[in-house]
Amino acid sequence: MDVFSALQTAVSGMKAQGFSLENISGNIANSQTTGFKRVDTSFVDLVAEQAPSRQVSGSVRANSVLTNSIQGNIIATETPTNIALNGPGFFAVQTKTSDVNGQTSFSPENLYTRRGDFKPDDEGYLRNGGGAYLTGTNLNPITGNATSQGPIQISKLPIPGKATSAINYAAELPQAPSKDLIGTGLAGNPNPIVLTGVGGGTVASGVEAKKLMDGSMAGPMLTTYSAIGAPVDLKTVWTKVQDAAAATTITNDDGTTTSVPAKNAVWNLFYANDTTVSGADSSWKNAGTAFEFDAGGTLVKPDGGSITLAAPTIDGVSLGPITINYGQGLTAFGRGEVVTSTLNQDGFTSGSYKDSYISEDGDVVANYSNGNSVTIAKVKVVQFTNPDGLKADSSGNYRQTLDSGNPLVGLNGTTIEGQNIEQSNTDIASEFSKMIVTQQAYSANTKVISTAQDMMSSLINIIR
């Protein structure tokens, strides 16, 4: 390498250090930018093609190195819809392209960001400070079915009532209840398993209902809802109609024997047709199922995990079919009273919108004045095999490239921190240290130019 090549190399060194300073400057400028990922600098030496014995240091090239895989600090905010990713991944976002006659249009392609300072705009769309709109799956608040894919929009319209269609129930029935119907007229032959009482499964109010009350124990009691969201109290009782018995052999008078098979304990469930009066003043409807438990208290029949009340009418209000889901949660080996461990239902009355938040699973949940919290959308989160291969776009967004690979949809172990945001991963102290080193390297390159100039001057002075 001659003096002139040394000059060129020093110039490339100054350019490279200037490029590094540019990245450092950008990192420091964005040290308070939400979700910003600093840009580091790597240097690559360029060696001119020479014989091995003649190779010398050549010029240098500076390249940007993204740090998308390095997480910044997560801090709490006061906005419920602010979110941060704790782990790898990016929010899928879109940008607004037009807003004509109240019709908002968005870009067809997704961008990706870690900037999670989202909050609803005037149309209810979740937009962050960089102007990007959070995307995901919008859901029908009543049915829970997906309605659209794209920017998430929070509707502030009132939510209509929803009829109760399912009750989740788990309980422990006593193995030896303090009262039952065994030996009474209600539980007598010819059908002691499924009570029919008077009127095809209905125990009439009055004397018959009093017998039922005297031999039953409180069952699940909760408020259900009609198709228009009207509250209707469901009041039920459990009653034991048959004890379990082991298999036996009976010796007859003629010396022969008869085998008597084992019997399971049997319980029936009744619900009141009128909850505005005392128990004996209401008629009671049998749920229509014999619940059989073996001697150990395990439910053996029915084995489907649920039963259905076929459109009950309570307090004069007609309800739709209600499925009682008990799964494996109904047993009969307890003591004393019926102990309920799970009891909830899926209906609700109408209510006005209050506020919303985002759960750690990415569910956008709206709270209503009726006390219900309903999932109205699911946030779309993606991960990349090589997140540092994404191409940086403006406003903290990134674009997919060949180097990044295709997006993999799902949290995959990452959690969403609601009412939090991720800070820039820039470390000011580190950036100042790098700036000092860059400054020294830049100054050193200028010294090379000064020295090369002196050497060229000496060469020119030889001929004088």
Structure tokens at 201: 């499964």
Structure tokens at 293: 């438990």
Is the pTM for the entire model greater than 0.85?
no
Quick check: 361 and 42 in contact, CB under 8 A? no
pLDDT in tens, 168-199: 999 999 988 888 888 776 665 554 445 544 44
- DSSP H or E segment with residue 421: strand 420-422
Quick check: 329 and 165 in contact, CB under 8 A? no
List CB contacts of 221: < 8 A, sequence separation 6 or more. Answer: 233, 234, 235, 236
What per-residue string of b and e applies to 73-84 under the rule 16 or more CB within 10 Å gives b? eeeebebebbbb
Q: Which of 347, 350, 363 is nearest to 157 (CA)?
A: 350
One-letter amino acid for residue 297 of the chain: G
Q: Is 298 exposed, middle or buried (0-12, 13-18, 19+ CB in 10 A)?
A: middle
The region of weakest confidence among 43-52, 78-87, 240-249 is 43-52
Residue 385 sits at the vertex; the CA angle it makes with 380 and 391, to the nearest 5 degrees, is: 80
Given this model, what pLDDT does residue 418 score? 93
Distances (CA, A) of 298 to 110, 329, 346: 53, 10, 27
Quick check: 398 and 90 in contact, CB under 8 A? yes
Could you tell me which CATH class the domain 166-345 is placed in?
mainly beta
Question: Averaged over 255-275, what is the pLDDT?
Answer: 84
Quick check: 297 and 264 in contact, CB under 8 A? no
- 3-state SS assignment for residue 14: helix
Quick check: 348 and 162 in contact, CB under 8 A? yes
| DSSP single-letter state for residue 156 | -
Q: Which of 412, 427, 343, 389 is nearest to 88 (CA)?
A: 412
Given this model, what pLDDT does residue 204 score? 81
Res. 48 pLDDT band, cuts 50 70 90 = low
Q: Which of 66, 131, 24, 129 is nearest to 422 (CA)?
A: 129
Q: How many percent of the chain have pLDDT more than 90?
A: 57
pLDDT in tens, 290-346: 898 988 888 988 888 899 998 899 999 989 999 999 988 899 988 888 999 999 998
Residues 223, 227: Cα–Cα separation, whole Å: 14
Q: Facing residues of 399 across strands?
A: 391
Torsion of CA 300, 302, 304, 307, to 10 degrees: -140
* Residue in the structure block whose two tokens are 């040290």: 31
- DSSP letters, 171-204, are EEEESS-S---TTSSTT-TT--SS--BTTTSEEP
In the chain, residues under CATH classification 2.60.98.20 are 166-345
Quick check: 169 and 330 in contact, CB under 8 A? yes
pLDDT in tens, 360-418: 999 999 999 988 889 999 999 999 999 999 999 888 999 999 999 999 999 999 999 99
